[in-house]
Structure 1
Amino acid sequence: MKQQCIQVDKKKGESVRKVLMENGALDTSVRIVSDESYIYIPLISAVDLKDLLFEDLQVTEHDFKVHEKPATLESILGHIPRYEVIGNIALLESDEGDLETTAAALLKVQPHLHTVLSALSPVEGEFRTRRFTFVKGENTTQTVHREYSCKYAIDMEKAYFTPRLATERSRILEQVKDGEVIVDMFAGVGPFSILIAKGRPSCRVVAIDKNPEAVKFLRHNIELNAVSNVEAVEGDAKEEAQRYIGVADHIIMNLPHTAQEFLGAAIVIAKPGTVIHYYDITPESDLYSTSLGHIESAASKAGFAVELIGTRIVRSYSPHQFNVCIEVKLY
């Protein structure tokens, strides 16, 4: 496509381009081209160059190629699909329609992705795992996820992990002071524990999980992130609590739906001044009251009073249900 342009010596090309850009005279819809001696800078048609021209510039015509706009999911599919990215794996919602077409678009638009999966089940079972179906790319459920300077090796079918709590994990880190003891009662592959350990090297972190596969990855991730202040414990938090009586400054209870069953164990680990970060799935009609009542009841049995520090909605979980966090201090 021929159009008006400025022919300029290569040494002056960048300075001329900047002046044209600042004055709205540069046509950015096509690519600047060059040969051995000159750069050809495309102009918006009918632009007045009287006040812009440098010496030794020549207005001429040249062939230019239009910039190709990068493909987007919306331009390919006509909509933006629901998915999340864990490492180099994209996880599509199972009701996303034509999974093959959507997966192909994802792999095209995001070259760092190697695999597209779709969930066959919700989080289920004693070890809180999910089942997946392979859609496109490399047939694997293993990846390495990077988050806040940490790396987490994961097998998505063997241990639960969600990137949607990244901000929440960072928020908890900001509450932890140097030298404190943190007990992560349901640590999984270690996203809370390792981030805190790395961000607060003087702290001691006890990371507990019942799922042996999760603990295997947890131990690997401790090495992967070169943190020496995390103790990985395989076992039921109710039983393991007896080994850590009254040690915790912070207790992380990220086990939505069933954290209530472990409040007694959390109180064993606690001491006056302990902060409990309690996560639950609650209906919008009762976001905090019932859950807070459970915490207060468990604390009262052990002679603790409860000070409510804060409540927050972490994310939407399903229609009319939310993943919430309730934070209290015992005294």
Structure 2
Amino acid sequence: MNKLFLKSHYLPLLSICPKFLSTEKSFISSFPILYLSSVVTTSSSCSCLSHFPDSTMVSYGPSLHKGTKPSQSPVTQTAQLDDDDDFLDEESFTRVFDIAALRVPSKDCFTLESRLRGHLLNWPRIRNIARVTGDDIDPEVIELLECQNNGDSDAEEGNHVSLDRRIYGKGEGDGDVLSPVLYRDRLAKTFNSRGFVKFRNLAKISRPKRKKKKKEEENNEGSRHIRKNGFAVLEVLEDEEEGSVELKNLLGEEFKRNKWRGPTRLLLLDERYAGKGVEELPEAIKAVLAEYGKKSTTFTIELVKCHLTLFYDYWQMNEILEALLPEVMIVPSAFETVGHIAHLNLRDEHLPYKKLIAKVVLDKNKPKIQTVVNKTDSIHNEYRTMQLEVLAGNHSLVTTVVENGIRFQVDLATVYWNSRLATERQRLLSSFTRNDVVCDVFSGVGPIAISAAKIVKRVFANDLNPYAVEYLERNSVHNKLERKIEVFNMDGRRFIQALFNSDKARSITQVVMNLPNDAAEYLDAFRGIYRNRPKDGELKFPKIHVYGFSKAQDPEFEFHERITIALREVAVNVDMRRVRLVAPGKWMLCASFILPESVAFATTALIS
């Protein structure tokens, strides 16, 4: 018989996150009663929990909550004070990280990268291999420098002559210049246009040092450095050897060391190895260091300290917005793209920060996005156009959208366009055949009508907005489909009555009514459209695709009821599907059905 003995277990206090202690259902209550006595603390112990370090909550990898923030330049501070609402200080998002790196020969960098993959930095958009400035040289020169002839003086002298010919254009004892191109290049680097020898930094050495001016120059160089080098800069921290300072002042900033080590690369190590010595590194890295120490006598892998600076351009849009907006505010992360325009739907809480949000959206989506707008009010007008406010970028709202291989020119100030319905439009177009004749009652600028014209036999497109009709005709001409599209500018009911009372009604097989707000109410125009025609077998009844919104708990049932009320027909076989969730609790639906014969030949028609 086995006996079980319960032993009290004491949990370390600092291992409990303070957020669990502040919840309504305490973290302590989830433990058995046996352990309650082990986590009961005094008031002094609870005060320690409030100072729980935030760094433990930061995830692995680069973050704006980690690293060192450099000092802000006086010019930026002055500009920020002048315009606090609209000014975005990009320098405030610069972070400097201390990392360690291995200086390895360039020919072995890829092999060592694969070997030490689990111990490298592996940050997004940061390569694990970094190039060391000033270490590269022509491979042929490397062979001349590293060639050992085992006491063969003739071969060694020949190597020196060959090296002189490559550098100076002629060798010792040669009367003629062997390489005119190299000779002219050497002269151009040695003398200026007036014939004087160039010493670029000679005047700088003779000047007295001015600390204040030097600091201003460093700040200016830093701002130029950001624009020139993109989103990240790696700087190697190494002690300057004796004599290197004088040579650096004489030869310029390009001179890094007075001893050339050959072409090398830097393997950036994981951030947890920053500031550690060789003894504290993992065994895999120690094995590589020991292996190269035995194998190579001319070069040994060395551990160096580096500063990795990440600028504003490195961080993603959501990271910048999380740092700009208050903590309790939801970060806007999605927007609709219409050509080069980003369409935002900001909440009321975002409006005080709308300029900053638009600036970040514009910066992080260039060059695709050139204009950022926000919808200021819901759609109430007759033409269903949106009231937009330009927040950043170009103020032109005329753009070009490419959908299904067709180019549409759109002016968001005068017409309506929704890029989120592209998938639904593609699904609808896939149901058309080349023998169909389509009637688009609310066509807009023609996303369905023009796309359908490439598939079907004929398209009749209508819209009440004269600006939309103008762009519809223009887009049909640009896409060379004007011969297959007939354009109308009428009210929806009048268009249905006029078209189906003509001879064109016999050929219509598909009717699209994409006006979700009140398209279902226009279905009453189909009552009695064939009442003056004889009932013969050649008459076709079109298939109607009508879109609508519903906020009911059962949106399909509610939308079906609206269709039956408009048609005044009880039994209507409707194929219903949900298109997308427009807002919380508000669905956009598509109902497809064949026009009932009883509705088409009804004696009581719509009274216009």
**Is TM-score (shorter-chain normalized) higher than 0.5?**
yes
Amino acid across the alignment from 2:466? P
Counterpart among 307, 322, 330 of residue 587 in structure 2: 322
1:227-246 per-residue CA deviation (whole Å, 9 max, x = no partner) reads: 34332222223222323424
Structure 1: unaligned runs, 5 residues or longer: none
CA contact (8 A) 1:5 1:43 kept: no
Instruction: Name the residue aligned to 1:76.
Output: 320
Amino acid across the alignment from 1:317? V
Structure 1 segment 1-331 matched on structure 2, within 5 A: 3-9=101-107, 16=111, 19-20=114-115, 24=118, 27-29=121-123, 30-31=126-127, 32-34=129-131, 35-36=136-137, 37=139, 38=263, 40=265, 42=267, 44=269, 46=282, 47=284, 60-61=301-302, 66=308, 68=310, 70-78=314-322, 79-95=331-347, 96-97=350-351, 98-111=353-366, 112-198=368-454, 200=455, 202-228=456-482, 229-241=484-496, 242-243=498-499, 244-266=504-526, 268=529, 272=540, 274-296=542-564, 306-309=572-575, 311-330=576-595
CA contact (8 A) 1:119 1:130 kept: yes
Kindly state the Cα deviation for residue 220 of structure 1 after the two structures are TM-superposed. Answer: 1.5
Kindly state the Cα deviation for residue 258 of structure 1 after the two structures are TM-superposed. Answer: 1.5
Kindly state the Cα deviation for residue 17 of structure 1 after the two structures are TM-superposed. Answer: 7.3
Residue 58 and residue 240 in structure 1: after superposition, are their counterparts in 2 closer, same or farther (change >3 A)?
A: farther
Residue 80 and residue 132 in structure 1: after superposition, are their counterparts in 2 closer, same or farther (change >3 A)?
A: closer
Q: State the distance in 1 between where 2:339 and 2:309 align.
A: 31
Residue 4 and residue 207 in structure 1: after superposition, are their counterparts in 2 closer, same or farther (change >3 A)?
A: same
CA contact (8 A) 1:316 1:322 kept: yes
Kindly state the Cα deviation for residue 20 of structure 1 after the two structures are TM-superposed. Answer: 4.5
Q: State the distance in 2 between where 1:167 and 1:190 align.
A: 15
Aligned length: 319
Q: Which moved more, 1:274-283 or 1:73-82?
A: 73-82
Residue 80 and residue 126 in structure 1: after superposition, are their counterparts in 2 closer, same or farther (change >3 A)?
A: closer
CA contact (8 A) 2:444 2:468 kept: yes
Question: What secondary structure, in the 3-state scheme, does the structure 2 residue paired with 1:191 have?
Answer: coil
Q: Could you state the TM-score of these two structures normalised by the residue count of structure 1?
A: 0.82
Residue 2 and residue 287 in structure 1: after superposition, are their counterparts in 2 closer, same or farther (change >3 A)?
A: closer
Question: What secondary structure, in the 3-state scheme, does the structure 1 residue paired with 2:380 have?
Answer: coil
Q: State the distance in 1 between where 2:457 and 2:264 align.
A: 59
Question: What secondary structure, in the 3-state scheme, does the structure 1 residue paired with 2:358 have?
Answer: helix
CA contact (8 A) 2:100 2:268 kept: no
Identify, as 1 or 2, the structure richer in helix. Answer: 2
Kindly state the Cα deviation for residue 74 of structure 1 after the two structures are TM-superposed. Answer: 1.4
Residue 221 and residue 59 in structure 1: after superposition, are their counterparts in 2 closer, same or farther (change >3 A)?
A: farther
Residue 65 and residue 168 in structure 1: after superposition, are their counterparts in 2 closer, same or farther (change >3 A)?
A: farther
Residue 41 and residue 254 in structure 1: after superposition, are their counterparts in 2 closer, same or farther (change >3 A)?
A: same
Q: State the distance in 1 between where 2:592 and 2:316 align.
A: 41
Kindly state the Cα deviation for residue 41 of structure 1 after the two structures are TM-superposed. Answer: 5.3
Identify, as 1 or 2, the structure richer in strand. Answer: 1
Amino acid across the alignment from 1:117? V
Q: State the distance in 2 between where 1:67 and 1:312 align.
A: 52
Residue 192 and residue 67 in structure 1: after superposition, are their counterparts in 2 closer, same or farther (change >3 A)?
A: farther
Q: Which moved more, 1:276-285 or 1:316-325?
A: 316-325
Question: What secondary structure, in the 3-state scheme, does the structure 2 residue paired with 1:75 have?
Answer: helix
Q: State the distance in 2 between where 1:211 and 1:260 align.
A: 19
Aligned Cα root-mean-square deviation (Å): 3.3
Q: State the distance in 1 between where 2:589 and 2:521 align.
A: 17
Q: Could you state the TM-score of these two structures normalised by the residue count of structure 2?
A: 0.47
Kindly state the Cα deviation for residue 64 of structure 1 after the two structures are TM-superposed. Answer: 6.5
Question: What secondary structure, in the 3-state scheme, does the structure 1 residue paired with 2:471 have?
Answer: helix
Kindly state the Cα deviation for residue 273 of structure 1 after the two structures are TM-superposed. Answer: 5.3
Considering only CA atoms, is the larger Rg found in Structure 1 or Structure 2?
2
Structure 2: unaligned runs, 5 residues or longer: 1-98, 140-262, 270-280, 323-330, 531-538, 597-608
Q: State the distance in 1 between where 2:566 and 2:552 align.
A: 24
Residue 58 and residue 191 in structure 1: after superposition, are their counterparts in 2 closer, same or farther (change >3 A)?
A: farther
Q: Which moved more, 1:157-166 or 1:76-85?
A: 76-85
Q: State the distance in 1 between where 2:308 and 2:453 align.
A: 51
